[in-house]
Chains A and B, each alone.
Chain A
Amino acid sequence: MSGTETYQFSCPECGQSLTVDDSMRFALVDNGCVVCGAPLRGTEFAACS
C-alpha cells in the first residue's frame, strides 16, 4: 500500500515534535496541538522524504 505520507509536526508553542500520518495531520489541524492545545494553521508540518 502506498499513499500514506508521513510528516514531521513541530508545535510553534510548546515545541513538541511528532511524526504523523495524513489522518493525524488532519486531526491536529482541526483540534490543535495534542500536547498544549495551541491552534494550528496547517503550516507546522514538513513532509518526510
Chain B
Amino acid sequence: MALDQQTEMTQSEIDDVLSRHETGVLSLARSDDPYAIPISYGYDSEHRRFYMRLVSTPESEKREFLSSSPDCRLVVYEETEPVYQSVVAIGTLEQISTDELTADHIEQYGKAKRPLFEIWAEGKEELDVQLFKLDPESMSGRRIEIES
C-alpha cells in the first residue's frame, strides 16, 4: 500500500463531510492533561458552527475539563475505500446557558443525535446535560487516496 495522494479539502467538501456525519472525537486540554471523548454534534453549515450536548456526572473527569471554556479540537473522519477524509476543527468550547436559548438553538440541537448511550449508563438524576457551541477559529480537511 502506498500513499498515493494527499489533498486539502475545500470548505464545501468539509461542510459535506460534517453534515453527513453526526459523531466525532472531541479533545480537550487542561494544562498538560489531555482528554478525548466521543461526542455527537449538530452542524450548522451556514455559520460553520457545531452544537453539542455533553453529559457528565457530578464528580466526573469530564465535568472538570468542561468547567472553564476549554480549548478543543474536534476530529470527524470518514473512510470509504480507497478514500480517507478527516476534518479537524480548532476553537474554544462555549457553554450555552438555558436562559439564553433561542428557537434557532433548538433547531440546531435537533440535528444532534440524542446522547442515549450515556443517558442509559447511569441513573438519569445523576446526570447533567450541558449545551455547548463550538465556533471554530480554524477548520481544515485532508483527503488521502490510497492506491492498493
Contact (Cβ within 8 A) B114 A34? no
* Chain B contact patch, size range: 10 to 19
A46 near B: Cβ within 8 Å? no
Quote the shortest CB–CB distance from A26 to chain B (angstroms).
7
Q: How distant is the Cα of A28 from the Cα of B103 in the complex, in angstroms? A: 8
- A residues in contact with B113, CB < 8 Å: 37
- The residue of chain B having its C-beta at the shortest distance from the C-beta of A28 within the complex is B106
Contact (Cβ within 8 A) B103 A37? no
Contact (Cβ within 8 A) B101 A24? yes
Contact partner of A34 (CB less than 8 A), chosen from B101, B119, B124, is B101
Q: How distant is the Cα of A41 from the Cα of B38 in the complex, in angstroms? A: 30
- The residue of chain B having its C-beta at the shortest distance from the C-beta of A38 within the complex is B114
- B residues in contact with A32, CB < 8 Å: 110, 114
Q: How distant is the Cα of A27 from the Cα of B104 in the complex, in angstroms? A: 8
Interface residues of B (CB under 8 A from A): 53, 98, 101-107, 109-110, 112-115, 119, 124, 129, 131
